[in-house]
Amino acid sequence: MAAKLRTALTLTVLTVVLVVMLVVGWNSATASFPSLGASSSSKADTCTNKRVTKRILRTQVTVSVYNGTNRKGFANTTMSALENRGFKVGALGNAPASLVRDGVQVLTVVKDDPRAVLVARQFKPTATVRVVETVQGPGINVVMGRGSTRPASGAPQVYKLPKPVVTCLDKTTN
């Protein structure tokens, strides 16, 4: 009789394990996929408001670059050029189709963002700055679209403010 009891107990435990595995598997199989690239960020995620009296420096700006072209490695090449100029590295990847436009687009969550202007002026012709609700990665997002050019030589190292403003600077900036 002990063998029959042991068999019944073993079958019960295996049935419970099977049900748990089915529930976990079903939840995993029906869960939504995460978005491509980095998770989207809002203003609160990437920066803190600080009073800036005279200028915004490249070293105060984090840039994320996304490739919306068919040129392999274009985002990486662009990011390297911006990093060599002193910008902080954010995220890197392929651009979601919903963000891609012709030319270079600079995306920010802050209206009249001097950081975005400084980044836009790194390209010739100057990139278009767009204010959006959320961005893909940390800092200012650059989306390279059809007809994009690499950052131009002789681009400004600072953005001189016409008057002191309170703006969003990267949390890592001292």
Residue 155 covered by a domain:
yes
What is the count of structural domains for the chain?
2
Residue 36 covered by a domain:
no
Residue 73 covered by a domain:
yes
Environment class of 161 (CB within 10 Å of its CB; exposed 0-12, middle 13-18, buried 19+): middle
Q: 154: phi > 0 → left, psi -120 to 50 → alpha, else beta; which?
A: left
Provide the CATH number for the domain around residue 136.
3.30.70.2390
In terms of domains, do 27 and 49 share one? no
Instruction: Write the CA distances from 53 to 13, 27, 50, 108, 165, integer angstroms.
Output: 69, 52, 10, 21, 7
Confidence of residue 40 (pLDDT cuts 50, 70, 90): very low
Residue 82 covered by a domain:
yes
In terms of domains, do 118 and 164 share one? yes
In terms of domains, do 75 and 157 share one? yes
Beta-sheet pairing, 55-57 with 158-160: antiparallel
Kindly give, in sequence order, each residue whose CB lies less than 8 Å from that of residue 159, ignoring residues fewer than 6 positions away: 55, 56, 114, 115, 117, 118, 121
Residue 16 covered by a domain:
yes
In terms of domains, do 115 and 156 share one? yes
In terms of domains, do 60 and 1 share one? no
In terms of domains, do 11 and 93 share one? no
In terms of domains, do 66 and 121 share one? yes
Q: Indicate whether 94 pLDDT > 80.
A: yes
What is residue 89's predicted lDDT score, i.e. its pLDDT? 95
How confident is the prediction for the chain on average, in pLDDT?
A: 83
* Percent of the chain residues past pLDDT 70, beyond the cut: 81
The answer to whether the beta carbons of residues 112 and 90 sit under 8 Å apart is no
In terms of domains, do 106 and 58 share one? yes
In terms of domains, do 3 and 50 share one? no
Domain with 124, as residue range(s), is: 43-170
In terms of domains, do 81 and 157 share one? yes
Q: Indicate whether 51 pLDDT > 70.
A: no
What is residue 32's predicted lDDT score, i.e. its pLDDT? 53
In terms of domains, do 24 and 99 share one? no
Residue 37 covered by a domain:
no
What's the rounded Cα separation, in Å, for the pair 89 and 77? 12
Q: List, as one string, the DSSP characters of 27-89.
A: HHHHSPPPPSSSPPB-HHHHEEEEEESSEEEGGG-EEEEEE-SS-TTHHHHHHHHHHHTTPEE
Residue 38 covered by a domain:
no
In terms of domains, do 63 and 144 share one? yes
Over residues 108-159, the pLDDT tens digits come to: 998 888 999 999 999 988 899 999 988 889 999 999 998 888 898 889 999 9
What's the rounded Cα separation, in Å, for the pair 52 and 163? 9
